[in-house]
Amino acid sequence: MAMIKLQAEPRDETGTREMHRLRNSGYIPANLYSHGQPSTLLKLNTATWSKHLTDQLNLVTIEFPDGENQIAAPREIQRDPLTQDILHVDFLGVRMDEKIEFNVKIDFEGIPEGVKEGGVRSIASEYVTVSCFPTDVPESISIDISELRIGDGLSARDLTMPENVELVTDPAVNLISVSAIRISEEDLEPTVVAEGEEAEAAEVLPEGEEAPPPEGTAEKPEEEGE
């Protein structure tokens, strides 16, 4: 897979207040961990990095001002729960001759037969964890879902792994299922007016005015002599 190259600068700032200042000045604080060495403190240009730091970014070449490069994998991206702005990033430095774990997106191809029959497609997981060398990380893993009918599903074991890529996710983990649209018994039952509710729903008439007799009935004539 192609790796993007992005620049980063070392930083000296630490502490909550300094991190707040750093973010306000247009930078994202980050740490780079590599093979048991002390972590390297970094600051990333927010405008440049924020559009690349997604769940689909597995590898990046970090370029330093002194000309050195480090291939790294984002391991934790902390975001503001309200704004989703990136607050902090942890990177793991990788070697090209060492296998590590990556999260890879699943591409669900086709429209399930069950959906065409009126069912609903439910995706339980869009990513799986795999283990491979950095040069073998796939952009995504495709799986055909067009033959799924109502009641069918696929799990991680149904994926075909690319060459030199091993599945780490539990094979039994559900990825997608197709189910019928359920209608509750309450939706099927007719509405029943409870006793007493009918009277409450009756129209309120002005004082002294009587309600008209029910439709289809005649008023009793007054007896002569009264």
> Does 199 reside within a domain?
no
Same domain? 105 vs 83: no
Residue 62: strand pairing partners:
6, 70
Q: Two tokens at 149?
A: 């009918």
Q: Report the CATH number at residue 175.
A: 2.170.120.20
Same domain? 88 vs 107: no
Element (H, E) at 116: helix 113-116
Residue-wise pLDDT tens for the chain (226 aa)? 567 899 999 999 889 999 999 999 999 999 999 877 788 999 999 999 999 998 788 899 999 998 889 999 999 999 999 999 999 999 999 988 999 999 999 999 999 999 999 999 999 999 999 999 998 999 899 999 999 999 999 999 999 999 999 999 999 999 999 999 865 555 555 555 555 554 444 454 555 555 555 555 445 444 444 3
For 69-94, the DSSP string reads: EEEEEEEEEEE-TTT--EEEEEEEE-
> Does 113 reside within a domain?
yes
- The whole-angstrom separation of Cα 131 and Cα 156 is 14
Note if the pTM is more than 0.85: no
Last residue of a domain, one of 58, 73, 93: 93
Same domain? 81 vs 107: no
What pLDDT shows up at residue 34?
84
Same domain? 8 vs 80: yes
Range of the domain at 120: 100-179
Burial label, 72 (beta-carbon count in 10 A; 0-12, 13-18, 19+): buried
Same domain? 42 vs 64: yes
Same domain? 80 vs 14: yes
**In this structure, how many other beta carbons lie within 10 angstroms of the beta carbon of residue 172?**
8
